[in-house]
Amino acid sequence: MTRSFNRRSFLKKTAAVAGAAGATSWLAAPYVLAEPSPNSKLNIAGIGVGGRGGAHVESSLSENLVAVCDVVEGTRQGAVRHAENRNQERHLDRPLPKAFADYRKMLDEMHKQIDAVFVATPDHLHAPAAMAAIKLGKHVYCEKPLTHNIDEARQLMLAAREHKVATQMGNQGRAAQGWRQLAEAVWAGAIGDVTEVHIWTDRPGIPSRFWWPQGGTRPAGSDPVPAGLDWDLWLGPAPTRPYLHTYPDGKFQGRPVYQPFVWRGWWDFGTGALGDIGCHALSGTFSALKIEYAAAVELVKDSGDTTDEMFPSSSIIRYDIPARGEMPPCKLFWYDGGYYPPRDVAGVAEGGEYPGNGKIVVGTQGKLTVGEGGIRLMPEEKMKDFQPPEPTIPRCQSDHFGEWVAACKGGRPAFSNFDHAGPLTEMVLLGNLAVRAGVGNKVEWDGPAMKSTNRPELNSLVRRDYRPGWEL
């Protein structure tokens, strides 16, 4: 499979795909699927069925859940029991899903019985599992971030096209109104030309809400692997290391080291706060500003505790976005771990508390924020006379998972299909290259070629080395 790709050229060639969507043409996948009737049922397999995967198990039971895979025995058996309970409640006489620890074995044994696969594993396993399913011609729903590194995002996007499968990344807000209203307002000129975007999150932790450890090193020693956990399968493509349950001492004493959920802070397994929330928070802006690639990225500030093992506790990252058609260059700022935009930019009074997560879009004629209630213009007097533009982006008719199911059955492409999710993930994870480069070391970026033009030492981090047997 070739990795050479010019997205601008591709977009020009596929502009007609979206039809009435007009300016939103790049949101649609470049192929039309010929699949079973919308009334037929999909045979779905789940890879990673705890946490977010548990929600996908429930959604899949409206179709046919034929297999579940998880490296934790109790989790996969729990998914089977959940399916059994749902069958009883609905008086359904259908087989229970088969349970597996290794998705490779599941796909090898059951690929003829599977139409579609969802992937809800830790980040480092997303691409290997999704690619294995795509190469078998299976439709794929993969949780965010789409991949663990930039190269994997490109490869998944290209593979999905080659095999003509329906895809969706699990940034659930993509099914909601907010990003659509944001894009439509920006395109209507509600705040003039956009010059800056400021996005912040409370991940990986703030004093009032701790999520997971970052800014540390690997503790020495090892602990017995818990019964029912296949640690080697959990490691997957990552380098082998001993299992550790909790930190024996130090600033994270008593906290879990790798499981559950806290794997996000480790370079080998997670993608940090940016990877966790970026594909949610940046998705609408990526579409509204018609971004293809960032021209450069820079770590503006961090907490000074980045290590070879873990992300820093806090960071501020700036992306330089080049001109796009009639849209002028702009800057996008990312803040995490207790860093925030200036109060005058965010509209937060001195002494006031910032929301845990937020977004401010700054234009030449005002500012715009997006929340659960939709968009708000700032200053407030601009909101009095604001008339939202007529919708131009088709709305979701179900939910994020249901949208993917409909696409699998021949409906319109899902709005976070890999033609959106791939480039979005590439840009999100570019921020982590800036973290590796260090504060003040601007990284100039050639997006189509996936390489830094001024810091070639970073280019080895665009992709990873895989343990044998886990290659894409």
The CATH homologous superfamily for domain 7-175+397-412 is NAD(P)-binding Rossmann-like Domain (3.40.50.720)
Any idea where the domains of the chain sit in the sequence? 7-175+397-412, 178-396+426-459
DSSP 8-state code for residue 256: B
DSSP conformation letters of 359-403? EEEEETTEEEEEETTEEEEESTHHHHT--PPPP-SPPPSS-HHHH
pLDDT at 14 over 90: no
Q: Where does the pLDDT of residue 441 fall: very low under 50, low under 70, confident under 90, or very high at 90 and above?
A: very high
Measured CA to CA, the distance from residue 308 to residue 386 in angstroms comes to 49
At residue 166 the predicted structure's pLDDT band, cuts being 50, 70 and 90, is: very high
Q: Of all residues in the chain, what percent carry a pLDDT higher than 90? A: 87
Q: Please, what is the end-to-end C-alpha distance for the chain in angstroms?
A: 11
Per-residue pLDDT of 298-334, as tens digits, reads 999 999 999 999 999 999 999 999 999 999 999 999 9
User: Residue 436 — very low, low, confident or very high, per pLDDT cuts 50/70/90?
Assistant: very high
Main-chain phi, psi angles of 301, to 5 degrees:
-160, 145
Taking only the tens place, the pLDDT of each residue in 87-144 is 999 999 999 999 999 999 999 999 999 999 999 999 999 999 999 999 999 999 999 9
Q: Provide the sign of the torsion angle of the four alpha carbons 377, 372, 417, 400, taken in this order.
A: negative
pTM of the model: 0.92
DSSP state of 412: S
Report the residue count for the chain. Answer: 472
pLDDT of 5 strictly over 90: no
Q: What is the three-class DSSP state of 300?
A: strand
Selection from 156, 116, 42 nearest residue 417 by Cα:
156
CATH of 178-396+426-459, picked from 3.10.20.600, 3.30.379.10, 3.30.360.10, 3.30.565.60, is 3.30.360.10
Whether 178-396+426-459 and 7-175+397-412 are alike in CATH topology: the answer is: no
The confidence score (pLDDT) of residue 19 equals: 31
Residue recorded with tokens 């960071």: 315
Q: What is the mean pLDDT of residues 176-185?
A: 95
Say whether pLDDT at 201 is over 50.
Answer: yes
Q: What residues contact residue 381 under an 8 Å CB cut-off, 6+ apart? A: none
Q: Give the largest Cα separation in the chain, rounded.
A: 64
